[in-house]
Structure 1
Amino acid sequence: MKWFKHYTNAQTSSSLDDIINEFGFEGYGRYWRLLEFLSLNFDGESTSFRFHNRTLRDCLRFKSKLKLRCYLVAIGLQTGFKVVETKDHFEIEAPILLSLKSRDFKKARPNRDQESPRIEADKDKDKEERREEKKELPTLKQKPLSLVDEYNQQCAIPNNLNSMSHHLTAGQLKNLHSLEGHPELLDEKAWSNYFSRIGKSEFLTKKKKPPVDFAWAIEPENVSKVLMGRYDNNQSTASDFDSVREAFLNG
């Protein structure tokens, strides 16, 4: 497919608005670059693509595979793309290309102006269905640290996007992205030790209300406090919530 129409009010889409909020206009531009790249390789029938991670990194100007992975998963959650990583390749399913082809390339187009709202409505419907599916999954609040165990079993930085992307929000992926290269979290063993440290803290797992969950554990600010020993059991500030809060307020 050599071209597709880009409506001037495209940014009013709820999905694209989410992309702008999460990644700024740089991420918004990368979305259109990705759509251009997929359209260039679209044969008019199959919407499934398989690219080496280096090809996509060059296309979207990402310096690391982790940054590319985080972005693709977030885009998938927000726009309906299906993204699966297999070793050094990414498999992408982009059904939107069929909608673009139907909208822009059919011969009789008297009702063309009415098609864009229908496509947008379908995207919003799909997004709502994905939200409902996520609600059905077990949450960390129901079983504290259950996702931590799964996270450790697979890898410190998730490689199995097909399963992990159901659990991680775009915000959580962004936090993992910001922790890349942290001197105390450079490999799987370091991450495992970090989560074990949280699990051994009676304050975090029993006394803190509500108990910590995975989202809390990967907040950069909380990571720093845990690594500094703020929540270790042998610290007097970890035995009482009020004293902990006072310690935080006073630096």
Structure 2
Amino acid sequence: MEQTYEACYGITHDDFLSLQCGTNEILYVYDVYTYAKQLSTSSTYGCVHIRQSATYNSTECCHYVNDTEDCGMRYYGSYFVHYCVGINTCTNQVAWNSTLNVCDQTVYFSETHYMKAFYNCIPSSNILDICSSDSTQGNPVYIWNTNYPGKQGDCSSNSGCSCRASSSSSGMKVNVLDLRLYNYVTGDCQQQLHITDGSTEFVISCTAYHAFKRTTVYTSTTSQIQLRFDNVFQYGYGNLWIEIESTYFV
């Protein structure tokens, strides 16, 4: 289920995105937006670019209403996502973007003044290390690399790790939540994910880069698939987080 958190940019103790999941859940942050209100809210509600008082009208100034009242854009400062995925709670100070060339600056503030994060809380019991011998049941289930949210270990310790997924229905979707495989400076892909589906083998390489963008990369034609993560990089690098869901339910 989608969850959101909004907060204003400023210097008070409340100007933070504070994301929190349950005790046995893991954060997956998939989008962060910065927004600016219309200039008229300055006189109506006291909205400003930098909040400096705890008495600020957060309900009106730090809350998305619609695309007419609020002008927004994705925030590409990746630390918000990188530092929040794969853990239970995360707090980061709100940042801002210039609205130049995005918002009509005769209508909206020239800088955004609040942020909104979109995230899911995923049960940790449904997540497995691809190198683990453990098993789990559910729809969906999740597979990630050893050490996630840290980097995959070197190839001597966990290259070629694999797992098998099965469904009572006719097929499954393989969705990438986070895919940042190591592409060597010469252009050689050092890490690959192999999906074996009956007699078909599908390979996901470094060019299929999906950093925190939930993307369906494969839909199986059978009720059982195998995932294998090949790693020939000598040092620890690369991240992988996969979601597998039964097509019967989606």
Quickly name the TM-score band, shorter chain normalised.
Answer: under 0.3
TM-score, normalising length: structure 1 = 0.26
Higher strand share: 2
Q: Give me the TM-score of the superposition, normalised by structure 2.
A: 0.26
Q: Which has the larger share of helix?
A: 1
RCO higher in structure (CA 8 A, sep ≥6): 2
